[in-house]
Structure 1
Amino acid sequence: MTVVLVGMPGVGKSTVARQLAHSLGVPLWDSDSVIERRLGTSIREYFASQGEVAFRDLEQRVLDELMDGAPGVLATGGGVVLRAANRRCLHERGTVIYLRAAPEFLFRRLRHDTRRPLLQVADPLARLKELYAERDPLYRESAHFVMDVLRSSRGLLIHRILMQLELMPDESGGVSVPYPDIHEDVAS
């Protein structure tokens, strides 16, 4: 089964996915990279010329193709959960981990990033708060586990994900033990 990372823009999905795939010895896919290779242009440029609906249609097709492929680790775009069909696809065909972080944390990471079309507004922090309010319930709906990235160093986060995956049922129908939200403070 494919391990899928979902979460807000800038939370670290691609970076964590790369390290997780390496640790597991499985292929890595990044849906945004696949989309950009297919388009031959950046998502930002495609978004500007074709609009969000056209982008979301393409994103849905790419997600479906990736989830049909060989098992691996998949980093998704931040808005992949906006469509109900995508949320069902993710939850039913993958092990979904929601990497959660507060909008203020994300703003500090993204304030100078010009590649993200939804954040090219007068008040990006306010926009991040709006996106978080809209998407957090959708990420939770899709996810099997929630990992708070603010409470762990990246190495500890990878370790916790690997430990949780060990508890997942195998093809013979083992028992899954849900991993709770992480709230304790851990030094970064």
Structure 2
Amino acid sequence: MGSGKTAVGSLLARNLGREFVDLDARIEAATGRTVAEIFRERDEQGFRAIEGRMVAEVARLTGCVVATGGGVVTDPANVAALRQSGLLIWLRASPETILARIGGTGHLRPLLNVPDPLARIRALLAEREPRYAEAEDTDGQDVEGVVAEIVRRLGDDAPGR
């Protein structure tokens, strides 16, 4: 949420000549509901169950760049499946940067539909931080810079090298 995963992921996939998969978009296509509708109808636990099934499906794909929602790490099975299928990268951004990127209110984000979205972002990041053990701090970097750093870290695994 607001970390830049769609922008970075799609540019990275294009640069690497790979397919880009947005997990939330895939969930929406499979269910015929938006993420916000799923949260409203089934609450967070119901959404996480659907997300877990989609992670298992996406983890079987090869040669693609996948953007997941930040809460995917709340289920250790998701982390294990994704780690087994490829490199995991956390696009880290400060709470203030995240709030600015999503428009300052969070009204379209189910978990941020609260009186103080900035406080909620801080709480979510603090809760998830232990799961984001190998974080890349992308706060203050532009999309192209983040993509270049990821390609550099991929090294010999990047196409064309």
Shorter-chain TM-score above 0.5: yes
Q: CA offsets, 1:144-185, max 9 Å, x none?
A: xx321224222111111101111559xxxxxxxxxxxxxxxx
Question: Which stretches in structure 1 are left out of the alignment for 5+ residues?
Answer: 1-8, 170-188
Structure 2 equivalent of residue 67 of structure 1: 59
Structure 2 equivalent of residue 88 of structure 1: 80
Q: Distance in 2 between matches of 1:87 and 1:35?
A: 17
Question: Which stretches in structure 2 are left out of the alignment for 5+ residues?
Answer: none
Structure 1 equivalent of residue 116 of structure 2: 123
Query: Which is helix-richer, 1 or 2?
Result: 2
Whether the 8 Å CA contact 2:18–2:63 is kept in 1: the answer is: yes
SS at match of 1:28: strand
Q: Which amino acid aligns with 1:139?
A: Y
Q: Distance in 2 between matches of 1:52 and 1:36?
A: 15
Q: Which amino acid aligns with 1:125?
A: L
Q: Between 109-118 and 124-133, report the one with greater CA deviation.
A: 109-118
Q: 1:26 aligns with which of 18, 21, 32?
A: 18
Q: CA offsets, 1:65-115, max 9 Å, x none?
A: 011012210000111000111111122221011111111211222224432
Q: 2:93 aligns with which of 69, 78, 101?
A: 101
SS at match of 1:106: helix
Q: CA offsets, 1:48-78, max 9 Å, x none?
A: 0111111101100001101101221000011
Give me the CA root mean square deviation. Answer: 1.7
Q: Which amino acid aligns with 2:2?
A: G
Corresponding pairs, count:
158
Structure 2 equivalent of residue 150 of structure 1: 139
**Within 5 Å, which residues of 2 pair with 1:175-186?**
none
Structure 1 residues 47, 83: CA separation in 2 closer, same or farther (over 3 Å shift)?
same
Q: Distance in 2 between matches of 1:113 and 1:25?
A: 33
User: Given the alignment of the two structures, is residue 16 of structure 1 paired with residue 8 of structure 2, yes or no?
Assistant: yes
User: Given the alignment of the two structures, is residue 53 of structure 1 paired with residue 45 of structure 2, yes or no?
Assistant: yes
SS at match of 2:132: helix
SS at match of 1:150: coil
Q: Distance in 2 between matches of 1:92 and 1:28?
A: 18
Q: CA offsets, 1:3-59, max 9 Å, x none?
A: xxxxxx111111100000000001110000000011111110111011111110110
Query: Between the two proteins, what is the percent identity of the paired residues?
Result: 38
TM-score between both structures, scaled by the size of structure 1: 0.79
Q: Distance in 1 between matches of 2:16 and 2:157?
A: 14
